[in-house]
Structure 1
Amino acid sequence: MRDTTILIVGHGSREESGNQEIRDFVAQWRSRQPGWRIEVGFIEFASPSLHDGLRAAAQGARRVLVLPLILNAAGHVKMEIPEAIEHARADCPQVEFLYGPHLTACDPILDILKRQLRRAMAALDMPDPTTTGVVLLGRGSSDRGANGDMAKMARWLQEAGDHELVDLAFTGITFPRLERVVQRQARIGMTQIVVLPYYLYTGTLMQRIGRQVEHLRAQYPQIRFALGTHFGFEPEIFALLEQRVTDLVAGRQDSALSCDGCRFREIAHDLGHGHSHEHTHGQAHAHSHSHDHAPVVMA
């Protein structure tokens, strides 16, 4: 793929260590795929910005594959990244920009969660799944589809094992919160609780989760807690992104976000919610529904 650039899009964090982990992930992926040109951009809080990353990726390329390194499809995936891609298409009309799906709720992510749960159970004194509650803890979103994907993963995790109780909690925006879920599990007699963060990389929220679990240990001394970790460097994440590249090059795109998510952005625009975290240029452009999604042939 000599004329193709892959742009990984990370969310970005106020905690620089989280941003550095994404850069380290990109470095590892370059080692796995030495023939690929792989760049990175961030939606907010870190550089290079998404707009700058798109422009840099387009330099010397005929085609740019934009891949969100994001678990759930909320506003960033449905609106902000597609808006930035439209700007990039206007700035670099000679370059073809193709947008891949986010990581999604899928079996490879389930495999990671199962492995995380096994590790946490092994760290407990009495690894009995019938008396051990599980809490899948995610960021939370105002987008019900994104929260629904997490609920799907919690249900899949329960069906994949012997745990009678796998609950869902969120660190913000929506409910329930971790403290309330732990309270419920304690009331029904769980003697151990595993908290599994649904996060790819570290950051301020992962640090907050660690503090919350410490508070819960003090509040519920009769319960044994185990805390999982973020999982962005697991082999399944690399494999998922490599599959995204293969699909885009072959002309296979996710119908749920067809036309670069323009349906979602039209709805948001009609409601007055269209926005972006940054606007580094004032170039106006028209949105068209006639994007060419013809199959792409490897050069």
Structure 2
Amino acid sequence: MTTPLLIAGHGTADEAGAEQFRQFVKRVDGLLAAPVAGGFIELSDPPIPSAVDALISGGARRVAAVPLMLVAAGHAKGDIPASLARERQRHNGLSFVYGRPLGPHPTILALLRERLAEISPDPETMVLLVGRGSSDPDANAEVARAARLLAETTPVAGVEYAFISLAEPGVPAGLERCRLLGAKRIAVLPYFLFTGVLPRRVVAQSEAWSAQTAVRVDCAEVIGDCDGLASLVIERYEEALRGEARANCDTCLYRIALPGHEHRVGAPQKPHDHPHDHAHPHHHH
């Protein structure tokens, strides 16, 4: 039997964003010759236990899980593995192989360049890549890495980066940095897969700053539900099946005492409790 694919999403309070994820899962399902289900850690339906139930009802005992995350922050490192561990308790004999987060893969960089091209930047345009932001320094460094890789592969004046929450610089400070570097035009590029509360906030803050400063700011679209993204998820799925997925633990704050984050070493990872999730480890189906 082919190993089914579980696509694990973050979840959003924004219904349009949740629907984009669900449509994306259907797209992958149409491309992969194996059963596919998608579930969210929190905030949206269906929750991960429902997605696992759907795959198990087809007879699966082994599932490949791919975290649909651009950055390996707490969700990919902790919440999803913890929720999969809970599913193993809930279903006797169930096993998972776990794929890598998407990361600044060449496919993601190509999709970001596509979104950028849609707003027609010129060689004088400064790009501001805006990531989610995290309390995990390694996760924030991945956004910086994506910005650098874009700068090396895109004909623009430069690529700065900012974060919409939890980390500095915020969007206004990132835009100001571009202005101080001499930018006459700034292209804001959201480092997000689908729309949601935070991507909408990126646009609102960018527009407000532009109105105040009279500097031209154009906002690109999020990466979105597309075949390029689907091909990368399938690549991560195949890599997980081959047993090749590895986490980069060199600067993981759960393993290494980073200054200011020492208290997080060895912190137990617990799943988010989904508001609609009535599954308990002692209920075997």
Q: TM-score, normalised by structure 1?
A: 0.82
More deviation in 85-94 or 148-157? 85-94
1:245-288 Cα offsets, whole Å, 9 max, x none, are: 2222223222537xxx9x75xx988665643211745548xxxx
SS in 1 for 2:140: helix
1:96-127 Cα offsets, whole Å, 9 max, x none, are: 211111101221111112222222225xxxx3
Name the Cα RMSD after superposition. 2.4
Alignment of 1:184 with 2:182, yes or no, is no
Deviation (angstroms), 1:50: 2.0
1:210-261 Cα offsets, whole Å, 9 max, x none, are: 212221221122x22211011132332111111122222223222537xxx9
Deviation (angstroms), 1:87: 1.6
- Aligned 8 A contact 2:3 2:60 in 1: yes
Which structure is larger by alpha-carbon Rg, 1 or 2? 1
CA distance in 2, matches of 1:84, 1:72: 18
Alignment of 1:61 with 2:67, yes or no, is no
Residue 254 of structure 1, aligned match among 221, 246, 266: 246
Residue 278 of structure 1, aligned match among 263, 273, 278: 273
Aligned pairs for 1:120-199 within 5 A: 120-122=119-121, 127=122, 129-130=123-124, 132-199=125-192
What is the one-letter code of the residue matched to 1:111?
A
Are residues 246 and 187 of structure 1, via their aligned partners in 2, closer, same or farther at CA, if it must alter by over 3 Å? closer
SS in 1 for 2:195: coil
Are residues 92 and 282 of structure 1, via their aligned partners in 2, closer, same or farther at CA, if it must alter by over 3 Å? closer
- Aligned 8 A contact 1:55 1:88 in 2: no
CA distance in 1, matches of 2:267, 2:87: 23
Alignment of 1:234 with 2:226, yes or no, is yes
The residue number in structure 1 matching 2:47 is 49
Alignment of 1:18 with 2:13, yes or no, is no
CA distance in 1, matches of 2:281, 2:31: 38
The residue number in structure 1 matching 2:237 is 245
- Aligned 8 A contact 1:65 1:99 in 2: yes
The residue number in structure 2 matching 1:101 is 100
CA distance in 1, matches of 2:222, 2:25: 16
The residue number in structure 2 matching 1:40 is 38
State the identity %.
Answer: 32
Are residues 143 and 26 of structure 1, via their aligned partners in 2, closer, same or farther at CA, if it must alter by over 3 Å? same
SS in 2 for 1:27: helix
- Aligned 8 A contact 2:49 2:279 in 1: no
CA distance in 2, matches of 1:79, 1:41: 16
Q: TM-score, normalised by structure 2?
A: 0.86
SS in 2 for 1:210: helix
1:2-22 Cα offsets, whole Å, 9 max, x none, are: 453211111000011111110
The residue number in structure 1 matching 2:80 is 81
1:61-118 Cα offsets, whole Å, 9 max, x none, are: 1221111111101111111111111122222232221111110122111111222222
- Aligned 8 A contact 1:30 1:36 in 2: yes
The residue number in structure 2 matching 1:117 is 116
CA distance in 2, matches of 1:269, 1:179: 30
CA distance in 1, matches of 2:182, 2:103: 33
Matched positions, count: 270
Structure 2 unaligned regions, length at least 5 = 256-261
Are residues 234 and 268 of structure 1, via their aligned partners in 2, closer, same or farther at CA, if it must alter by over 3 Å? farther
| Greater helix fraction, Structure 1 or Structure 2 | 1
More deviation in 273-282 or 71-80? 273-282
Structure 1 unaligned regions, length at least 5 = 285-299
